[in-house]
Structure 1
Amino acid sequence: MRVSDFDFHLPQENIALRPAEPRDSAKLLLVDPSQAGRFSNHIVRDLPLLLREGDALVFNDTKVIPARLDGMRRRPGGAGASIEAMLHQRIGPERWKAFARPGKRLAVGDTIAFGDALSAEVEAKGEGGEVTLRFGLAGPQLDIAIATVGHIPLPPYIASKRADDQRDRQDYQTVYARADGAVAAPTAGLHFTPELLQRLDAAGISRHFVTLHVGAGTFLPVKGEEIAEHKMHAEFGVITGETAAAFNETRARGGRLIAVGTTSLRLLESAADEDGIIQPFADETAIFITPGYRFRTADALMTNFHLPRSTLMMLVSAFAGYEVMQAAYAYAIAQGYRFYSYGDSSLLWRAPC
């Protein structure tokens, strides 16, 4: 298949710039490839009614950091230049990989000043504007400085229409976020409220937490037309031994695993062996899921509506079926569903093998 097979037209009015209030009032499209009707309309707070006792939800508890830094290049004997650095992977106490814009203005050895209290040296340059930055601070001191001067890294389709604000620091974070390290939110989880979590508990639906630090590379456009040529950026993930055992026990007794978000699903698939047994995991993953992939873990996927021509559109097409998702997206657009990070949700059941 080609990248153009995953293209579609989305009217601007379907792009959400703010989340629903309250969070669990967002619409939810149920997609069941095994049913003739396939689609039904709900809201997120209906979730306990759409699942059954003994099912298990898999949440990604990564926490978004204010990873967009606005700076000025400082070069001896040279003119200054405005630089935006989007941090995407920490590789040491004082070192981060970042995407710099415009990257062509930077050379190895340049210094970027992010205000008066934080600066970094360009240690290396890669492809597509990627740079390695060595900061003048390290560890917790660097974390505090980034939190002070950084901006919430809103996706381009929001950032191009409005600036981030204090409200985004809460809106662009799940209520169960715990582990600092993501530069993009696991957006399927943004719909959950403490009240909804309590109702899921009362319905006998267990919840478990994994960690995948979402990197900005997840949302990079797929260049070219051949899917096989695209390279995913690695992201670090963790599934503990106790959590892996809970997943396997759930499935052994007939319970179903529902991945909340594509990040949770990608991590589950990265940790599963050929027999579908989920193993403890603490490593990087660059798994790229496209139609034809054989899923071994989740029975359902709760996820937002994704960008055309994106790796995430390819993933959901692999999970529920290409033709099913083409029809589902056309239906969602016609029904006025709100798309992307702050948009509405869907619950996809896995296509029959």
Structure 2
Amino acid sequence: MEKLGRNNIYLIFIVTLLITSLIEEIVNLPFDYYATFVIEEKYGKNKKTPLIFFKDECLGFVSNLVIMCVIVLPLTALVLHLIHHTALTSFTLTNSILFTLILAVGIGVVMLIAMGLSYIVLNIQYKFTDLEDGELKDKIIYLMRDSKKKVKHIKVYNESKKSTGKNAFLLKMLWYREFGIADNFINENDEDELLAVLSHEIGHLKHKKNIYNYLRYIFISMLLIVLIVVLTHLPFFNKLYIYFLQAFNIKTLNILLLGEVIVTLLRPVMRMLSIFNNYVSRKEEYEADDNAVKEGYGEALIQTFKTLSSDELVDVNPAPTIEFIEFDHPGMYNRIHHIHQQIQEKNLNKEETYGQNDIQTYSHKS
């Protein structure tokens, strides 16, 4: 790497990143091929041809490469410049705050551009067409009647070209929102099941705590960056990094190796943050399910979960510890149990309302 990068820390980073990404892609390719043409084929889930498979793999690799070259590399070069020309031990409070803000904004920009690029790739892989005007479209629009944020674009994509998968999702990019509905879902599921899933997605729009999520993102970004700055000031860190350089016989600063050292040391903190984010995500999924119940599609949503669990070979009832640590969505069993509870509460509230109305009517007559 040092020879290829000519002992320049910027070139060393670029060469190392590109080579490791290519190696990772080559290593993962046979496993992805096996998963698609052996495992999925065994259960009748795959409709891809080898040509389509390799086309999708190339698109994914190129999109990742574009993100790295256009966004990640310039951002990293800026960070490298700050590190290389300003000793971490001499960071003033102002420099530390500036360093933190640059990284936080940079990460946000990377995420936004990655989302935009993913949308472009998705439209290359699938053909999206606007949902035709009619009763179904009118019902979908009606579901958004009391939502402040509307979805103006409702599209159907040809999932049947590649698999038997059934999906309906809400794509959000800044002010642009779009419903994507797999043609398999429309052709093979009841209309109420589709409306149940879209009610769930609209529930995310209604309950989306944008300010809270932005503050949470800023807090986590600041926390990680502060931890990195503190960590790199500790005496043992330099000794550990020098040990890694000697172990790999490296003489020039390699930012990727430095990053691996930092990530390894911060892994317990990252795990705790991941558990917290998963908890928040599961809570938001329950809130979105509640909206489907409110719209009268609770039973249809349960039926959809049962169908999808069977079609997608999902573990419907993972161990509680595994779900708590790893899952950003509740297990199907817990979601169905929660929906049943919400339906019962809704019916009970209706009965109480009817009872009160009867009492008021009787009193008025008397």
Does TM-score exceed 0.5, indicating one fold?
no
Higher strand share: 1
Higher helix share: 2
Could you state the TM-score of these two structures normalised by the residue count of structure 1?
Answer: 0.24
Larger Rg: 2
